[in-house]
Amino acid sequence: MVTGTVFCDQCKDGQRSLLDYPVNGAKVSLSCADSNGQITMSREETTNMFGSYIMRFDGAPDLGGCSAIVSGSGQGSMDCGEGAGPAQNPRLMFRMFDMEMYTVDPLLAQPAQPMQFCSRSSDSNPVPPPVSPPKSPPQFNLPPMPGLPPLPPLPPLPPLPPLPPVIFAEASACSSEKWTMPEYKCYWRGVNQDTKVAVAFGMVAARRYGTDITLWKGLQGRGDPYRTLSREGITALFNSYNTLQFSYHPIGVVEHMNEALMGSTRSVLLTALRFKRSNSGAGNVTCKFTPCK
Q: Is there a domain that residue 21 lies in?
A: yes
Residue range of the domain that includes 224: 176-280
Q: Is there a domain that residue 9 lies in?
A: yes
Boundary of a domain, candidates 110, 129, 159: 110
Tell me the H-state helices in the chain. 176-179, 197-201, 203-209, 215-218, 225-242, 250-261, 265-279
Q: Is there a domain that residue 151 lies in?
A: no
**Structural domain count of the chain:** 2
pLDDT (average), residues 233-238: 92
| pLDDT at position 279 | 92
Q: Is there a domain that residue 122 lies in?
A: no
Are residues 201 and 105 part of one domain?
no
| pLDDT at position 257 | 92
Q: State percent of the chain over pLDDT 90.
A: 26
Boundary of a domain, candidates 110, 142, 166: 110
Q: Is there a domain that residue 141 lies in?
A: no
Mean pLDDT estimate for the chain:
83
CA atoms within 13 A on the CB side of 42: 10
> For residue 159, which phi and psi values (nearest 5 degrees)?
-65, 140
> For residue 273, which phi and psi values (nearest 5 degrees)?
-70, -35
Q: Is there a domain that residue 161 lies in?
A: no
**Residue 114 near residue 11, CB atoms below 8 Å:** yes
pTM confidence score: 0.47
Confidence of residue 77 (pLDDT cuts 50, 70, 90): low
Q: Is there a domain that residue 168 lies in?
A: no
| pLDDT at position 228 | 94
Q: Is there a domain that residue 51 lies in?
A: yes
pLDDT (average), residues 153-169: 65
- Mapped onto helix, strand or coil, the DSSP state of residue 240 is helix
| pLDDT at position 124 | 47
Boundary of a domain, candidates 88, 110, 132: 110
The pairing of strands 99-103 and 2-8 is parallel
245-276: buried (b, 16+ CB within 10 Å) or exposed (e) per residue? Answer: ebbbebbebbbbbbebbbeeeeebbebbebbb
